[in-house]
């Protein structure tokens, strides 16, 4: 006996489903990176989103023209990509329908028995178990970031990005703490109230700000990929692990947990980043080395390979 493969693919079968959750509680970094991936896959496949919550559905509908579906996971396409904070027991459901499963994670969280697992975080809270039936790609080179922005002539501005969830409510406290510096403040707010920055405004802020103050979630990877000197603020112990890991590698200045951070301590961090030129150079250089901004292309290529595999069927012929 021998095994051969032949394409069963047609244009109708080149479909990808992306299951994602995001909202005020967990921010919108999950939805943003899935949108980036969907746009990269759009030339070769029809992409449908499966939104696991109403805020996520609203965000995707407002920011894209993709097919947005509810959390009903019946009739899934041949390739399913998930980006979920919790496992949801979804792998078995995907496999029961004969689909391949590519899962995106952070910090080793939400591990599941997918065919391919990608974890772009700089560290892992839980190590991945060895599994001969699963491909594993880990490290910040696989973090899906925006395209790096070329730094230009600097302005007297500071970019503050604390994620898109409830943490964005603390922006005003940080603005008050650093007001004596005389810098203009540019903020992103995600799901919170107020008008969010459009892409052009955000690119300009990344290119020209003196430095950034960022939560240690997904947004910090965007900043490092563009070489922005960054002060990392953690809003929980998981983010603190990320901030400390980046600081140990020389890529950020970690200010620690926000609820323990005094206005004077934050102001001291800002003054250090503004005045210490060797530190500024070191942060920018180390950040670019760790997060090179090519994670999207790497993940898209992995997804393309999985999509190709779904269009192959195994047939068995007698010897």
- Residue 289 — φ and ψ, nearest 5°? -65, -40
For the chain, what are the domain ranges?
A: 2-145+294-313, 157-290
Question: Contact, 109 vs 236, CB < 8 A?
Answer: no
pLDDT for 319 beyond 60:
no
Mean pLDDT of the chain: 87
Q: How many CB atoms lie within 10 A of CB 176?
A: 10
At residue 197 the predicted structure's pLDDT band, cuts being 50, 70 and 90, is low
pLDDT tens, residue by residue, 115-160:
999 999 998 877 788 888 889 999 999 999 999 999 999 999 999 9
pLDDT tens, residue by residue, 226-275:
999 999 999 889 899 999 999 999 999 999 999 999 999 999 999 999 99
Q: Which CATH number fits domain 157-290: 3.10.180.10, 3.10.20.440, 3.40.50.2000, 3.20.19.10?
A: 3.40.50.2000
Q: Which of 64, 32, 28 is closest to 48 using CA atoms?
A: 64
Question: Contact, 166 vs 197, CB < 8 A?
Answer: no
Burial of 159 (0-12, 13-18, 19+ CB in 10 A): buried
Residues 6 or more apart from 13 whose CB is under 8 A from it? 78, 310, 311
Q: What one-character DSSP code corresponds to residue 44? A: T
Question: Contact, 164 vs 187, CB < 8 A?
Answer: no
Q: What is the pLDDT of residue 11?
A: 44
pLDDT tens, residue by residue, 148-161:
999 999 999 999 99
pLDDT for 17 beyond 80:
yes
Same fold, 2-145+294-313 and 157-290: yes
Which CATH superfamily hosts domain 2-145+294-313? Glycogen Phosphorylase B; (3.40.50.2000)
Question: Contact, 252 vs 140, CB < 8 A?
Answer: no
Alpha-carbon distance of 262 to 188, in angstroms, equals: 22
Distance of CA 300 to the CA centre of its chain: 13
Name the region of 154 (left: φ>0; alpha: ψ -120 to 50; beta: rest).
beta
pLDDT tens, residue by residue, 33-81:
999 999 999 999 999 999 998 888 988 998 899 999 988 888 899 999 9
Beta strands in the chain (DSSP E): 2-7, 15-20, 46-51, 67-69, 79-83, 100-105, 116-119, 135-138, 157-161, 184-188, 211-215, 230-234, 253-257, 312-317
List 254's β-bridge partners, or say none.
Answer: 232
pLDDT for 193 beyond 80:
no
pLDDT for 29 beyond 60:
yes
Q: What percent of the chain has pLDDT over 70?
A: 87
């Amino acid at each position: 006996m021998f095994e051969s493969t032949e394409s069963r693919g047609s244009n109708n079968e080149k479909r990808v489903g992306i299951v994602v959750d995001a909202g005020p509680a967990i921010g919108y970094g999950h939805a943003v990176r899935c949108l980036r991936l969907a746009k990269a896959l759009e030339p070769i496949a029809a992409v449908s989103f499966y939104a696991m919550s109403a805020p996520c559905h609203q965000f995707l509908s407002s920011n894209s023209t993709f097919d947005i579906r509810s959390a009903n996971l019946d009739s899934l396409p041949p390739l399913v990509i998930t980006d979920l904070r919790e496992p949801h027991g979804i792998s078995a459901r995907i496999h029961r329908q004969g689909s391949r499963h590519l899962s995106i994670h952070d910090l080793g969280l939400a591990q599941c028995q997918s065919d391919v697992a990608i974890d772009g975080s700089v560290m892992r809270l839980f190590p991945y178990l060895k599994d001969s039936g699963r491909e594993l790609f880990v490290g910040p080179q696989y973090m899906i970031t925006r395209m790096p922005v070329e730094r230009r002539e600097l302005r007297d501005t500071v970019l503050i990005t604390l994620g898109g969830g409830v943490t964005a409510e603390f922006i005003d406290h940080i603005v008050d703490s650093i007001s004596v510096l005389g810098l203009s403040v540019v903020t992103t707010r995600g799901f919170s109230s107020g008008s969010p920055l459009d892409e052009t405004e955000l690119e300009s802020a990344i290119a020209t700000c003196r430095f950034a103050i960022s939560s240690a979630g997904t947004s910090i990877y965007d900043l490092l990929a563009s070489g922005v000197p960054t002060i990392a603020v953690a809003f929980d112990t998981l983010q603190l692990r990320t901030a400390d890991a980046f600081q140990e590698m020389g890529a950020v200045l970690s200010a620690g947990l926000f609820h323990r951070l005094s206005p004077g301590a934050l102001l001291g961090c800002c003054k250090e980043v503004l005045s210490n030129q060797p530190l500024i150079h070191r942060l920018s250089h180390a950040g670019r080395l760790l997060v090179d901004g090519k994670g999207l292309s790497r993940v898209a290529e992995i997804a393309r390979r999985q999509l190709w595999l779904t269009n192959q069927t195994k047939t068995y012929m007698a010897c």
